[in-house]
Amino acid sequence: MRIRISDPALLGDLCDHLSRQGCVAVEAGAEEVNVLIPGARSPFEAAMMVMTEIDLWRLKQASVTVSVQPDA
């Protein structure tokens, strides 16, 4: 899935956070990251895991907006 954030300066921090949680997070542009959840049994489970981790990360980055686009 692709994640876009409103503050490109925090993209590396988001990738680091997701990686520490077992995700594969790779920067895909100045404001985007591609995320893969190894071991997720379904796209729904992967999306729920990513959204939970993003919510936890945003507790420290309240001013950042994040959008998630599932894989097609």
The range of the structural domain enclosing residue 25 comes to 2-69
- Residue 20 has what pLDDT? 94
The confidence band for 18, taking pLDDT boundaries of 50, 70 and 90, is very high
Asked whether the beta carbons of 27 and 12 are under 8 A apart, the reply is yes
User: Cα 48 from chain centroid?
Assistant: 11
The total number of structural domains in the chain stands at: 1
How many Cβ atoms are within 10 Å of 42's Cβ, its own excluded?
8
Tens digits of per-residue pLDDT, 25-72? Answer: 999 998 999 999 998 999 889 889 999 999 999 999 888 999 988 775
